[in-house]
């Protein structure tokens, strides 16, 4: 019966859904096009007996109107949804900033040290952190009974007392001398390890930058000039320097270099313990025994060497009063330093 078909299609139309404008258009074709389901009912209408024509004709027209308005509404809503979606992915909106990390203060200071010595023609080399006795002690003229060779000061590998964690970057001097002939003009940044109780002033792991210059006629005046240049570049042109006699097995003569206190300018304060001076490095003329151990003729060549603690210099530069801050990796501490 046509009347039933009208009812069925009406129910169908009332529950139509469309995700997109294209879906809605497909529905329009399905129901309202020339070959559509609603249109087909109009064809059938011709066969309806005359006495029912009025009623069924009215039903049919209502169905057609319903289909038209319903499908038009679905089309419009789908179009609006597309618009809302476009707003949700607004391509002109500024991107969320990617948080950038900052360089570790030890890296900043290490890079500055490397920079300063590069300007004087020093190249950069590195050596292993796990070393043997020869490179850390013996080749550097340490006597067999030297206290640094003691378990108390040095981390040895349990199964082999010849293998240890380097206690200073001076071991890289030996590594470089055994593979390179003079002239040598290099610095060696790296990590070192000492069996020390951790406190505000000492850590069992820290960083050094070593320097080695070997050529003809290198004198103590060259050492002093080079390290004075370094101190003024690192701490500012007004800084004063002094060299105090000291002792290292691998240099002769040996010295320690002080700079005028970066906090009080030399007047005396808590940081320099009233002396006005702060020690920043050890240095000296390379001991002839060390040259000989590495097959460099001490009658032909001479040289100087120096070694500085990076943490120590960073503490003075940035006013950090506890070395442990450098190893705790608290981002509130690490974020404060300007990259370089
Ligand atoms: N290696 C010494 C230290 O760790 C520093 C130093 C290096 C001294 C080179 C003189 C020459 O204390």
pLDDT single digits (tens) 41-71: 888 888 888 888 898 989 999 999 999 999 9
Q: Is the four-CA dihedral 61, 63, 66, 67 of positive or negative sign?
A: negative
Alpha-carbon dihedral angle through residues 197, 134, 217, 224, given to the nearest 10 degrees: 0
190, β-bridge pairs: 208
Q: Considering only CA atoms, which residue is closest to atom 12 of ligand 1?
A: 282
Q: Higher pLDDT residue, 147 or 25?
A: 25
What pLDDT, on a 0 to 100 scale, did the predictor assign at position 101?
85
Q: Considering only CA atoms, which residue is closest to atom 9 of ligand 1?
A: 306
Question: Mean pLDDT lowest for which of 21-35, 144-158, 177-191?
Answer: 144-158
* Pocket of ligand 1, beta carbon within 6 A: 168, 170, 210, 248, 251, 282-284, 305-307
CA of 249 to the centre of ligand 1 (A): 9
Tell me how far apart the alpha carbons of residues 121 and 132 are, in angstroms, rounded to a whole number: 30
Q: Which is nearest to 231 in space by CA: 317, 121, 289, 339?
A: 317
In tens, the pLDDT along 187-237 reads: 999 999 999 999 998 999 999 999 999 999 999 999 999 999 999 999 999
Q: Which atom of ligand 1 is nearest to the CA of 170?
A: 1
Residue of 248, 249, 280 with the most ligand 1 atoms within 8 Å of its CB, for mutation: 248
In tens, the pLDDT along 115-157 reads: 999 999 999 999 999 999 999 999 999 998 888 787 778 999 9
CA of 251 to the centre of ligand 1 (A): 9
For residue 242, give every residue at least 6 positions away whose Cβ sits within 8 Å of its Cβ, in sequence order, or none. 257, 258, 277
Q: Where are the alpha helices (DSSP H) in the chain?
A: 2-14, 21-32, 37-45, 50-88, 105-119, 133-136, 170-179, 220-235, 288-293, 310-318, 325-328, 331-334
């Amino acid at each position: 019966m046509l009347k039933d078909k009208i009812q069925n299609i009406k129910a169908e139309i009332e529950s139509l859904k469309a995700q997109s404008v294209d879906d809605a258009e497909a529905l329009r074709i399905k129901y309202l096009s020339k070959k559509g389901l609603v249109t087909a009912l109009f064809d059938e209408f011709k066969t309806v007996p005359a006495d029912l024509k009025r009623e069924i004709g009215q039903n049919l027209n209502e169905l057609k109107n319903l289909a038209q308005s319903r499908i038009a509404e679905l089309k419009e809503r789908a179009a609006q949804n597309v618009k809302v979606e476009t707003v949700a992915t607004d391509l002109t909106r500024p991107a969320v900033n990617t948080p950038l990390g900052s360089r570790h203060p030890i890296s900043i200071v290490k890079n500055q040290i490397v920079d300063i010595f590069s300007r004087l023609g020093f190249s950069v080399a590195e050596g292993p952190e796990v070393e043997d006795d020869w490179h850390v002690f013996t080749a550097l003229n340490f006597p067999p009974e030297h206290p640094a060779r003691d378990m108390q000061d040095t981390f040895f590998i349990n199964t082999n007392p010849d293998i240890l964690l380097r206690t200073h970057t001076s071991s890289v001097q030996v590594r470089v001398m055994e593979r390179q002939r003079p002239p040598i003009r290099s610095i060696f940044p790296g990590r070192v390890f000492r069996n020390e109780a951790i406190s505000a002033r000492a850590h069992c792991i820290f960083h050094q930058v070593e320097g080695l210059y070997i050529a003809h006629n290198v004198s103590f005046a060259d050492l002093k000039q080079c390290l004075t240049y370094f101190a003024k570049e690192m701490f500012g042109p007004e800084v004063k320097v002094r060299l105090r006699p000291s002792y290292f097995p691998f240099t002769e003569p040996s010295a320690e270099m002080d700079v005028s206190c970066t906090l009080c300018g030399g007047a005396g304060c808590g940081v320099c313990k009233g002396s006005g001076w702060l020690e920043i490095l050890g240095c000296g003329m390379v001991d002839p025994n060390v040259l000989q151990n590495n097959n460099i003729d001490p009658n032909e060549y001479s040289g100087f060497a120096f070694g500085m603690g990076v943490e120590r210099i960073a503490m003075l530069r940035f006013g950090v009063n506890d070395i442990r801050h450098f190893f705790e990796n608290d981002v509130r501490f690490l974020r404060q330093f300007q990259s370089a």
